Structure 1
């Protein structure tokens, strides 16, 4: 047999073996994540969690979200498109995941103070749009986040009083405990009706959501 052909076939066999190993590893990882998610289903959604979309929707997207995370910002337009595409069937539940430490914690406090004033979504949009400004290195960059919140109508004095009450600290402590129990290690991490998203491709989130919505639509009406 030609030496080049032997080398080529050997390389091809090695590549196939590697691809198979990667596939099996990814399948095992996904199955483990699904099992862990099902075991921790009660830790997915709490009454204190922010909700976007129809509160009684049959399909729930849970997003473990860090307002300082660039990937969360990149995914956000796709999430909004999904909510717009399936408005009656979908709700988004946000769980805070402060992986950027103090910067994330301060941003979560601003979001929760805004939610208490009925301004969660406008502040969320403002913080994501202006993310680079308030996550940059330097003293008092979080002041820029406060300025963004104020620009969309947040009463800063009332917001600071809300934060001082300690209620946000309690909520955040619960979210941190849950993300550890579920095994969340990166943001954003998504679950759709308890099923973990197996890809970092925003289109994969849409496909998983569409599949769940279609399953719901096939159910007989009550």
Structure 2
């Protein structure tokens, strides 16, 4: 082999080793960050709405924006995971108000929780999302129409949604979104591990791997 070819081969091998090392380091760093976030309670707060048993083997934390189309698209998959593992999977929602108008809708959801109507109001919001969630100019009156149909006491909700407690929920979740480094929705963590590759299939596989490890 000629000297130039030897140099080229050595260079390519070095580049491959460097790339592999960088990839492994990135993966390790992601695991370290997510684990630390989980240990520091950045992924879940006492006020966070959740579905499923508290002692579930697997906890899915979803950073969720009610105006996010992908969050709406993922909702049936998350429901299916829970339906197939009713005793073993718990879902925690963290509010992520990236879109215009999302903060008001989060306030509606929190007001609905005070009326024990969180889930039906959440589903009404998602079903009617294409009507109200124009990211540049959301029509929140249509969101209110949707939650009224779900049985929400609108007058009481408008009063409750301005409470200091609900404001604190929004502020804490916004702070945790920044601290964890969430930049898009939905972002999922499964038992503190981030979903590395985006997709419903990947979420199911990560949940199943965590279930198998218990």
Please give the TM-score of this superposition, normalised by the length of structure 1: 0.82
Question: Does the C-alpha gap of structure 1 residues 119 and 143 become closer, same or farther in structure 2, counting only changes over 3 Å?
Answer: same
Aligned to 1:48: 47
Q: Which SS does the other structure have where 2:208 is aligned? A: helix
Aligned to 1:142: 140
CA distance in 1, matches of 2:113, 2:180: 25
Instruction: Verify the 8 A CA contact 2:67 2:135 in the aligned structure 1.
Output: no
Between 1:25-34 and 1:39-48, the stretch displaced more is 25-34
CA distance in 2, matches of 1:144, 1:152: 13
Aligned to 1:220: none
Aligned to 1:112: 110
| Runs of 4+ displaced beyond 6 Å | 137-140
Instruction: Verify the 8 A CA contact 1:135 1:141 in the aligned structure 2.
Output: yes
CA distance in 2, matches of 1:77, 1:140: 24
- Taking only aligned residues, the RMSD between alpha carbons, in angstroms, comes to 2.1
Gaps of 5+ in 1: 1-13, 217-222
Tell me by how many angstroms 1:32 deviates. Answer: 2.3
Tell me by how many angstroms 1:71 deviates. Answer: 0.9
Instruction: Verify the 8 A CA contact 1:72 1:188 in the aligned structure 2.
Output: yes
Please give the TM-score of this superposition, normalised by the length of structure 2: 0.85
2:35 equivalent to 1:38: yes
Question: Does the C-alpha gap of structure 1 residues 69 and 30 become closer, same or farther in structure 2, counting only changes over 3 Å?
Answer: farther
Superposed CA deviations along residues 52-82 of structure 1, whole A, max 9, x for unmatched, are 1223212110000101111111111110110
Instruction: Say how many residue pairs are matched.
Output: 198
Instruction: Verify the 8 A CA contact 2:101 2:138 in the aligned structure 1.
Output: no
